[in-house]
Copies of this chain bind each other. A is one copy, B any other.
Amino acid sequence: MKWCRVSVEDRAVFGILEGDEVVPVEGSPFGTSRPTPGRYSLSGVKILVPVLPANFYAVGVNYRAHVEWARMHHGLAVEIPGQPDIGYRSVNALIPTGAPIIIPGDSPGPVEYEGELVAVVGRTARHLSEGEALSCLLGYTLGNDVSERAWQRSDRTLWRAKNTDTFKPMGPVIATDLDPMTQHIVVRINGKIVNEYETGSMLFTLQQYISRMTRYLTLYPGDVIWLGTDGATEPALTPGDVVEIEDEAIGVLRNPVVRER
């Protein structure tokens, strides 16, 4: 099943994607919902970010090859983490599929993609064991953790490097019923594959993250956990590019790149 969020008559509503059609619902996937009359062609509605999370978690570094690459190519002080410590992003930067990634006028660059699987929490959860961990999830979507590497080195925090407006494309839909540890993530720039990896290579599993997180904090419906990327994230994004993150079960998150005037 695929959940989406769309703009219908200037109102944001959740919907169920059936083939190329959207069936809007009353309510939400995080509570009760029921289909409303009418169907819309997917091409005729505006797709929104599939959920606006109250808490926006990101694991940051969770794949060995990406850590090694970041150290070698960007001189970033990234270590292989010894335990699953989560980080944060913020919703100001979220954009849906189709919306432009806007590189600030004063960005020295490079600005790079990071194609990620994203877990979406479906119910309130605390103190989950690894065995129970995935039971709190509604499903999965895709994220592009766009990163300004010069600011990632120069700034005390990641706010500008990772959380400039438009730097967090997320979508297109939330797919239920998939195994987060057996996904194949593909990144394309202008139709050409530039990165692909298996989520099974994670240093810490999603189950380990959720179990450890819920020992100290409550997960809420709609919260998202971005699961990191593997390997290199080159070439850099340049104005005019179209960057796509794809997973067979979820679909394609596609965003053009522009430069701020």
Q: Does A85 contact B (CB under 8 A)?
A: yes
Besides A83-B155, A92-B223, A165-B218, 20 new A-B residue pairs in contact (Cβ under 8 A), listed by A number: A52-B54, A54-B91, A55-B92, A57-B159, A79-B156, A85-B156, A85-B160, A86-B157, A87-B157, A88-B88, A88-B89, A88-B90, A88-B157, A88-B163, A92-B217, A92-B219, A92-B220, A93-B217, A104-B215, A126-B165
How far, in angstroms, from A91 to B222 measured CA to CA in the complex? 13
What chain B residues lie within 8 Å of A57 (beta carbons)? 90, 159
Also in contact, A157 and B85, with CB within 8 A (given A90-B56, A91-B55): yes
Query: A164: which B residues are within 8 A, CB to CB?
Result: 216-217
Majority SS at the chain A contact face? loop
Contact B104 A216 (CB under 8 A): yes
Query: Would you call B88 and A216 a contact (CB within 8 A)?
Result: no
Is the CB of A239 closer than 8 A to any CB of chain B? no
Q: Is A109 an interface residue (CB 8 A)?
A: no
List 23 A–B pairs whose Cβ atoms lie within 8 Å, in order of A's numbering.
A52-B54, A54-B92, A55-B91, A56-B90, A60-B156, A60-B157, A85-B155, A85-B156, A85-B157, A85-B160, A86-B159, A88-B88, A88-B159, A88-B163, A92-B220, A104-B215, A104-B216, A126-B165, A159-B216, A159-B217, A160-B216, A164-B217, A165-B218
